[in-house]
Amino acid sequence: MKNVLCIMSDQFEELEAVGTIALLRRAGINVTVCALHEKQATGRFQITISDLTDVSEAQADTYDALFLPGGPHYAELQENPLVQQLIKDFDKQQKYICAICAAPTILGQLGLLKNRRYTCFTSMNQDFGGEYVNEYTAIDGNLITGRSAAAVIDFAFVIIEQLLGKEKAEEVKNSIYYY
């Protein structure tokens, strides 16, 4: 079984977090959701997710991929030393780092988008030294990025395909009448 670590804090984008987590779990991927504060997080639209793991308990060695949903919480994630270290650990181990909407900018600030193909929420794109693509998803090596909340389904399917293969991704697509 594949394992994905998701990190969130208050003001996460609910559609990006819950939509991606639901599709990954539908594919049979174990998703551990970590919070920065008190084992819960409240999204930007006041949906609270509780009984979460504290981020201090997370170690990159345990997971196959890291997932960072977007939303205004990206600024807090970007400044958190534990989150920064986890991102660096995943990258060093060449494990997938998946970020959508505002979250790819965290990767950009850490220098991980340099000379890489990526996407993010268009108005948040800066000169990260890579190639910004105006597409729903982009994959470059171990980095999977998504553009916005509208890209959630395609973003999740790219992650599923990378972790479990095209056949499994197609199986899940068919189960939700994607086509």
49-93: per-residue pLDDT in tens?
Answer: 999 999 999 999 999 999 999 999 999 999 999 999 999 999 999
Residues identified as active-site: 101
Residue 37 has pLDDT above 90, yes or no: no
CA distance 130 to 12: 25
Q: Give which of 50, 109, 47, 48 is closest to 77, Cα–Cα.
A: 109
Q: How far, in Å, CA of 109 to CA of 107, rounded? A: 5
Q: How many residues does the chain have?
A: 179
Q: What CATH number does domain 3-175 carry, 3.40.30.10, 3.40.50.880, 3.40.50.800, 3.40.630.10?
A: 3.40.50.880
**What percent of the chain is modeled with pLDDT above 90?**
99
Which residues are paired to 100 by β-bridges? Answer: 146
Do 160 and 30 meet the contact criterion of CB atoms below 8 Å apart? no
pTM of the full predicted structure?
0.97
Indicate the helix (H) or strand (E) that contains 153: helix 152-164
Give the per-residue pLDDT at 38. Answer: 82
Short-list 160, 123, 162, 120, CA closest to 137? 120
Instruction: Confirm if 63 and 2 have CB atoms less than 8 A apart.
Output: no
Angle at 148 between CA 144 and CA 129, to 5 degrees: 55
Residue 52 DSSP label: P
Cα–Cα nearest to 73, from 112, 99, 108: 99
